[in-house]
Amino acid sequence: MGDILHQAHQPGSNSYIGQPVERVEDLRFLRGRGTYVADVQTQNELHAVVFRSPVAHGLIKHLDVTAAANVPGVAAVITGKSIGQDVPLIPLRQQVFDEGIPYLQSVIALDKVRYVGEPVAVVVAETASIAEDALEFIEFDLDELPVVVTTDAARKDEHLLFERSGTNCPIVMTARKGDAESAFSTAPYTRRESFSIQRHLALPMETRGLLAVWDEPESQLTVYGAAKVPFFNRALLARMLGLAETSVELIEVDVGGAFGARGEFYPEDFLIPFASRLTGRPVRWIEDRRENLMAMNHAREMDAEIEIACELDGTVIGLRGDINVDIGAYVRTNGFTAPRNVAQFCSGPYDIANIALNANVFMTNKTPAGTYRGPGRFESSFFMERLLYLAARDLGIEQADIRRKNLIPEAKMPYKLAKMGHVDPSSDTECDGGAYGEIFERCLEEFGWAEKQHLQGKLIDGRYHGLGLGCFVEGGAAGPREGVKMRLESDGSVSVNVGSSAVGQGLETILGQIAADGLGLPMDRITIRHGSTTLVKEGFGSFHSRSTVMGGSAVHNASIEMLQKIKQQAAIRFGCEAEQVEIAEGTVSCEGRRFTFAELAEDAIEVELSFPNSKHTYSYGSHAAHVAVDPATGHVEILEYQTVEDVGRVINPATLHGQVLGSACQGLGSVFLEEIVYDENGQLLTGTLADYLIPTATDFPGVQSISLGLRPCPNNPLGAKGAGEGGLIAVGGTIANAIAAALSSFDVQPSHLPLTPRRIWHLINNNKKKSSE
């Protein structure tokens, strides 16, 4: 398999695309030669540690950092005062609506703190240990204010987080289609259910970190540790510091996972560069895990009341309701994204003509929330799949049948989803195409759905068995564009710079495959560089599962253009027409004469372009699960979990498979293990990895996945669809439905996540009590 990197072939021949090429990144990661931000070497550096509010809500009465600043080895202590008149606010990056403005976070607390973990001061010292020691000497006193920790409390507007705004609800995002009121008034069957999902975290294995290097003579700032959206962040940071964009470079090094939470602009993204400029020395900040749990974006906490309306044959005719989203103390750069998604994507892959859903966003005194893999989609899939399960049961329709009946038929593609009341480039989106029913049947077949039906609700060896289903769509490939710069190097290799960010998804390999096929070169003649603002004129980054489609299409198009340019240069040298030039295996030839790419390199052949896209891609698929519930302990074992999906086109089946398994595992963690808990004072109770539990190797061994390139996407040259999040989206509903089926004799309805053993035990025992009363 290692040999495949050296294979030569015809341009455009796709001998790498579609192959499980071993990753180029692995060569350094396996040897311990990756460079994450904590590994970047520098001289004369200082270390920063952030002093964070220990109280959830209060007016700052007293903040004195003199004693801390005098600790030997401390170079500076930064507070709101140090920054001066205009302390910058962190703006919205996605779903940019004015409603968010009163709720934006300033880069450091000024007169008030609104969550435990909010940055109040930054200590900069010779070592991280000294900086941490100095925290003790900071005098900090507050007039505590009443704490709001639930959407119910927030909604009352009795205690406001932002007095001037007058309310704790910045925005209500509406999704509308057809005429829900009328559909519900005439529907022969309706059912309303309450749901809730717990607060979670992305928890990448690498915490956040930055190394900011201010070069005083050059007035140049270089910041290492960028990820996800370096170009946006660079522009923002430059503005905040009053510098020209050209004076600021954000460098992406190796990144230990992002999952949506790393890379957004956080307070530290300003504070650390500010510290470097203030002290005139490089400043390094490496978040510790305790901080990470209280300072990196939270996600997913929602409660909802949603109603489904059906015909008696199970055709879903309407969906309406309210979803209350707890986004914590501030509106973050992407704080409105999950609320928007949960409303628009509640219908998932199902054809529902009448929709009226409201996502009510609430502020609470908790760590602000942003996006986490499948934002709003995991949540809405849970709601939808549970409603389908209940409707099917009430109407006497088999679980697979009700889904067959309602999956969007291929003939209706492209299929418009509900329209958002708040208009932005993504508010009008449609499923691009796909054979949803076919993939569903394939899943049922792989899983053995029909053959396993006899297990439903059965008690075997002391455990109840159940099977569940769920279907999903995954939106990907957000626009507007992605930038690439390709250059023919003097040794005949090609360097490819791309604006996409690598976050662990194997970007260098995937784009290498695409470039190699496009140029007709062996992969080991291609060098991919990614993310940093030094690399291309414009870049947009990696989010919303876009890097394969956007970065990949940009690379693909650039390859075609590069070959054209090579032909043109060769034609000049040969003295013939460009059409007469043949390219193969890194050489150009015409009528028996030949040059290698290397020989042409002195002609400075370079291509820089952007690939634009305004249409989201929609990977889609189905999940099936077989669980066994131990009624004595409430423990659930996953005996089998099968996913089948269509991603349009598979570039690298190995990396894709890895993404699906990894995201399914995260989904199972969300269902069973992961939970951020606050007490009534807004104190974070789950502050260590012994409290916030993520899956380990022994928890969920039974996941299997199949990914197909069945219906290529019509909207990009690769035919690919974004596919990094689908493995997770349908997990909540699929598992909850399997558990409901297993415990049907107790009529347990799992509508609240997480489904911890304790919760399941109580559900069983409460219903036991009820039935014996």
Partner 1 sequence: MKLPKFEYQAPTTLSEAIALLEAADGEAKLLSGGQSLMPMLAFRMATPTMLVDLRKVRGLDAIVVDDTVRLGARVRWCDIEKDERLRTGHPLLQEAIRHVAHYQIRNRGTVGGSMAHADPAAEFPAVAVSCEAEISTVSATGSRVIAASDFFVAPLFTVLEPDEIITEVSFPKWSPTRRFGFQEFSRRRGDFAIAGAIVHYDMDASGRMADVHVGAFGLGNTPIRLEEAEALLNGQAPSVDHFEQIAAAAMKDVEIQDDIHADAEYRRSLLQTMLMRALQSSLGSGVWSS
Partner 2 sequence: MMQIGITINGVCYERDVPARTTLADFIRGVAGLTGTHIGCEHGVCGACTVVVDGSAVRSCLMLAAQAEGCRVETVEGLADEEELSPLQAAFRKHHALQCGFCTAGILMTMHALLLEEPDADEERVREVLSGNLCRCTGYQPIVEAVMEARQSYG
Question: Which residues contact partner 2 (rule: CB under 8 A)?
Answer: 1, 20, 22-23, 25-36, 38-39, 129, 203-207, 254-257, 259, 286, 288-290, 503-506, 654-655, 657-659, 661-666, 688-690, 694-698, 700-701, 703
469 touches, from partner 2, partner 1, none (C-beta below 5 to 8 Å by class): none
Q: If binding means CB under 8 A, how many residues of this protein chain bind partner 1?
A: 30
Dihedral, CA of residue 660, residue 664, residue 670 and residue 671, to nearest 10:
160
Phi-psi region of 179 (alpha: psi -120 to 50; beta: other; left: phi over 0): beta
CA distance 656 to 523: 19
133 binds, among partner 2, partner 1, none (CB under 5 to 8 A by kind): partner 1
Task: Answer yes or no: are the C-beta atoms of 562 and 488 closer than 8 Å.
Answer: yes
Question: What does 666 bind: partner 2, partner 1, none (CB cut-off 5 to 8 Å by kind)?
Answer: partner 2
Neighbours of 460 (CB within 10 A): 9
Residues of span 680-699 touching partner 1 by CB under 8 A: 685-686, 688, 690-691, 693, 695-696, 698-699
Binder among 290, 537, 594, 615 for partner 1 (CB under 8 A): 290
Question: Which residues lie closer than 8 Å to 687 by C-beta, 6 or more apart?
Answer: 290, 293, 294
Q: Does 677 bind partner 1 (CB under 8 A)?
A: yes
Closest approach of partner 1 to the CB of residue 449, in Å: 29
Stretch of 283-291, 318-326, 367-375, 508-516 contacting partner 1, by CB under 8 A: 283-291
| Residue 768 binds to partner 1 (criterion: CB under 8 A) | no
- The verdict on 608 binding partner 1 (CB under 8 A) reads no
Segment contacting partner 1 by CB under 8 A, of 112-120, 542-550, 593-601, 761-769: 761-769
**Chain centroid, CA 69 distance in Å:** 39
Following DSSP, what letter does each residue of 197-213 receive, concatenated? E--EE---SS--EEEEE
Pick 1 or 690: Cβ nearer partner 1:
690
Phi-psi label, residue 14: left if phi above 0, alpha if psi -120 to 50, beta otherwise: left
CB-CB contact of 328 with 160 (8 Å): no
Nearer to partner 1, 367 or 545 (CB): 367
Q: How far is the CB of 693 from partner 2 (least distance, A)?
A: 10
Give the nearest distance from C-beta 129 to partner 1 in angstroms.
4
Q: Pattern of binders to partner 1 over 109-138, x per CB under 8 A? A: ------------------xxx--xx-----
* CB nearer partner 2, residue 199 or residue 393: 199
Out of 758, 768, 770, 771, which residue is the one contacting partner 1 (CB under 8 A)? 758
Closest CA to 709 of 617, 586, 628: 617
The pattern of x and - marking residues 699 through 738 that bind partner 1 according to CB under 8 A reads x---------------------------------------
Q: At closest approach, how far in Å is the CB of 39 from partner 1?
A: 18
Distance CA 398, CA 467 (A): 12
Q: Say which residues have a Cβ less than 8 Å from residue 224's Cβ, sequence separation at least 6.
A: 37, 40, 210, 211, 212, 213, 251, 253
Confirm or reject binding of residue 27 to partner 1 (CB under 8 A). Answer: no
| 698 burial level (CB within 10 Å; 0-12, 13-18, 19+) | exposed
Using DSSP bridges, classify how beta strands 617-629 and 636-646 pair: parallel, antiparallel or unpaired.
antiparallel
Residue 204 binding partner per list partner 1, partner 2, none, with a CB distance cut-off of 5 to 8 Å that depends on partner kind: partner 2
b vs e for 578-592, b when ≥16 Cβ sit within 10 Å of the residue's Cβ?
Answer: beebebeebbbebee
In the bound complex, what is the minimum distance in angstroms from residue 196's beta carbon to partner 1? 18
Nearest distance from C-beta of residue 686 to partner 2, angstroms:
13
| Cβ closest to partner 1, residue 117 vs residue 586 | 117
Residue with tokens 């997913």: 300
The two three-digit tokens of residue 127, written as one number: 């070592």
Tell me the CA distances in angstroms from 68 to 65, 77, 359, one per residue in order: 5, 7, 45
**What one-character-per-residue DSSP string does 401-454 give?**
HHHHHHBPPGGG-SEE-PEESS-STTSS-EE----HHHHHHHHHHHHTHHHHGG
Tokens of residue 340, six digits: 């928007």
**Interaction between residue 762 and partner 1 (CB under 8 A):** yes
Cis peptide before 414 (omega within 30 of 0): yes
Angle between helices 267-279 and 230-241 (to 10 degrees): 50
Question: With respect to partner 2, which residue has the nearer C-beta, 22 or 249?
Answer: 22
Name the residue nearer to partner 1 (CB basis): 523 or 676.
676
765 is in the binding site of which of partner 2, partner 1, none (Cβ under 5 to 8 A by kind)? partner 1
Binding positions for partner 1, rule: CB under 8 A: 127-129, 132-133, 288-290, 632-635, 673, 677, 685-686, 688, 690-691, 693, 695-696, 698-699, 756-758, 761-762, 765
